[in-house]
Amino acid sequence: MSIMFDENTHFRHEFKYIEPEIRLKASELRLSSFVKKDTHAGEKGFYSIRSLYFDDYFDSFLNENISGVDEREKWRIRIYDRSADFISLERKSKKSDLIAKDSCSIDRETYDAILKGTASVSDSNPALLNLFIIGLKAKGLHPVVIVEYERTPFVVHEGNTRVTFDRNIRSSMELDALLSDRELAARPVLEAGKNLLEVKFDAFLPDHIGHALETGHMRRETFSKYYLSREFSFSALSKYTLAKVR
């Protein structure tokens, strides 16, 4: 299914690496010696992310992911540090090797209406929210999985670069518990001892950042948190390997 992108859509590069924690920690220590963390990380140095993903009744987003469709999208509602004070509706788009993210904040009332199926298009809504509501009604978008993890973020002005270390990535089928301030029943999506490094940038990746992160063993992965989290829900997907997720 081809997606019509707005001419103002801001696409970025996104490199992903699945590495043993001992190597990721070494990269993080080198990076932290001269790069500041995102201020949202606070005193802890990290924050938690919990996302509720949506798909249609044909699992189109999942199947497009598996098939490696060149232009595709995913919809999710996300909160940080298990707080309902800020709820973000997000559409992540992919075009070849580039990614873009559009987002808008929604309130608790709107979130509840989305889950109940009573949300409606309105001139007072952000355009992205109206587009999502149309998808709810026309395509049958509905919640399918929750993905949660802890993120350690670094930001670099050059190249508009963002480096994140995502740990303890896990999935949950408690679809009505996104806003719950508690641990969810969940299972890990990566083998023990491995975590994810993501590097996002615009036109170029600064050399000093690349050198700080490189361990000599790194290999770019076509990794999808969404795919691996859904994999546990569908035994039929067991025949697909990570290499098939483009």
Residue 3 counted as domain residue = no
Q: Is there a domain that residue 24 lies in?
A: yes
Output the CA torsion sign for 30, 31, 34, 37: negative
Output the domain CATH number for residue 234: 3.20.100.30
Domain count, the chain: 1
- Whether residue 238 is contained in a domain is answered as yes
Neighbours of 148 (CB within 10 A): 22
* Residues forming beta bridges with residue 92, ordered by sequence position: 74, 101
Q: Is residue 5 domain-resident?
A: no
Considering all CA atoms of the chain, what is the largest pairwise distance in Å, rounded to the nearest integer? 53
pLDDT > 70? residue 213 = yes
Residue 234 belongs to a domain: yes
Residue 54 is part of which domain span?
12-244
Question: Token pair for residue 176?
Answer: 């009505």
Task: Give the chain's end-to-end CA distance (angstroms, integer).
Answer: 16
Per-residue pLDDT, 3: 55
The answer to whether position 222 is within a domain reads yes
In a 10 Å sphere around its CB, with 0-12 CB exposed, 13-18 middle and 19+ buried, how is residue 13 labelled? Answer: middle
Q: What is the pLDDT of residue 223?
A: 83
Residue carrying the six token digits 């070494």 = 26
As a whole number of angstroms, the distance between CA 173 and CA 152 comes to 25
Q: What is the mean pLDDT of residues 180-197?
A: 95
DSSP 100: E
Catalogue the E-assigned strands of 173-217.
187-188, 194-201
Read off the pLDDT of each residue in 135-149 and give the average, rounded to a whole number.
Answer: 97
Asked if residue 130 lies in contact with residue 122, where contact means CB atoms within 8 angstroms, the answer is yes
Predicted confidence (pLDDT) at residue 1 exceeds the cutoff of 70:
no
pTM: 0.90
Domain-located, residue 4: no
pLDDT at residue 245, rounded to an integer:
42
Task: Give yes or no for residue 169 having a pLDDT over 60.
Answer: yes
- In the prediction, which pLDDT does 246 show? 39
Q: At residue 138, what is the residue type? A: A
> In this model, does residue 145 exceed pLDDT 60?
yes
Radius of gyration of the chain (CA): 18
> Residue 16: inside a domain, yes or no?
yes
Quote the distance between the C-alpha of residue 159 and its chain's center. 21
